[in-house]
Amino acid sequence: MRRWRWAALVAVACWVGCGEGGSLPGKGETEQPATTTNPDGTVTLPDIPTEKGEEPKPVEFKSLWPLTRGTRWTYRITDPTRGTFDKQVEVLGEQTVPETSMKAIAVRSLQPHLEELSWQLELNGVVVRLREEDRKAGALARVTTWSPATVKAIAQEQSLGWTFTSDIRELTRLGDGTTEDKDKTYVWHVEAVNETVTTPAGTFTNAIRLKRARGDKENQERTYWLVPGIGKVKEDGERLEELVSYDIKKP
């Protein structure tokens, strides 16, 4: 089993172009810049090595996380607090990431109480998020950024036992202007391959079971079932998400 660790890179405060002056340190913390964007308008990307130094395999229509424009998924959410409802996810296509000079794939998620817009990139078979915006009743409620960009999922099939550990700095800006700055560690692990999983969208026999755990906290785990050419068909953790329907567009 092979493990790689990322070194969390701290970005310098961006006075021109980002529009943020700095965050207020929490209790017992020293003052830190309130941005994860670099002075040149870029977001630091993680160093994701390929297996044995080889070039990444083409994912094309076998992607575990399709990011082709117009692709849609509908999930049935079973939440212990909010009950059962649907979530609609759509890939909007390439956009400039706000407050940066970089481009990434915008993905919109609609729930009855929340709209999420995130900007994602695929790097060597791994999908990372650069930014996420949450809106409630049309008003911006939260903006989250990371340095380096945080892992969202895998797009390329990995072997059983594959493990990846990432250390990130997460900056959250709330709608009222307050900020929260945290260091986090996530551990990703392929627990099973060719697993059979049944959802309202059907039964899939070739799912990869991927677990995400917090390396710095206990009892904060999520498990994902990813199917080549379709994407996430099930997620379990804080709540249960099951695929109801999908429409995958070809590149």
Two structure tokens written together for 120: 């994602």
Angle CA(124)–CA(125)–CA(129) in degrees, nearest 5? Answer: 90
For residue 118, give the nearest of 128, 136, 133, 103 by alpha carbon.
Answer: 133
Asked whether residue 30 is assigned to any structural domain, the reply reads: no
For residue 179, give the nearest of 42, 25, 37, 16 by alpha carbon.
Answer: 25
Residue 225 CA to residue 221 CA, distance in Å, equals 14
pLDDT at residue number 75: 98
Q: Can you give the residue range of the structural domain that contains 106?
A: 51-247
Asked whether residue 186 is assigned to any structural domain, the reply reads: yes
Q: Which residue has the tokens 């249960």?
A: 240
pLDDT at residue number 56: 56
Long-range CB contacts (within 8 A, 24+) of 115-120: 118/152, 119/95, 120/67, 120/152
Asked whether residue 126 is assigned to any structural domain, the reply reads: yes
Asked whether residue 185 is assigned to any structural domain, the reply reads: yes
Residue-wise pLDDT tens for the chain (251 aa)?
Answer: 334 443 333 333 333 344 444 444 444 455 556 789 999 889 998 888 766 555 555 444 699 999 999 999 999 999 999 999 999 999 999 999 999 999 999 999 999 999 999 999 999 999 999 999 999 999 999 999 999 999 999 999 999 999 999 999 999 999 999 999 999 999 999 999 999 999 999 999 999 999 999 977 777 899 999 999 999 999 999 999 999 999 999 88
- Using DSSP's 3-state secondary structure scheme, residue 193 falls into strand
* Rg of the chain (C-alpha set): 18
pLDDT at residue number 191: 98
Asked whether residue 14 is assigned to any structural domain, the reply reads: no
Q: Which residue has the tokens 């759509």?
A: 90
C-alpha distances in Å from residue 180, one per residue of 35, 88, 103, 188: 11, 28, 25, 24
Contact 246, 73 (CB under 8 A): yes
DSSP-assigned letter for residue 74: E
Residue 55 CA to residue 125 CA, distance in Å, equals 10
Asked whether residue 139 is assigned to any structural domain, the reply reads: yes
Asked whether residue 208 is assigned to any structural domain, the reply reads: yes
CATH number of the domain encompassing residue 101 = 2.40.360
Q: Considering its fold, how many domains does the chain have in total? A: 1
Two structure tokens written together for 149: 């960009």
Angle CA(191)–CA(194)–CA(64) in degrees, nearest 5? Answer: 80
pLDDT at residue number 215: 76
Two structure tokens written together for 27: 């209790």
Asked whether residue 25 is assigned to any structural domain, the reply reads: no
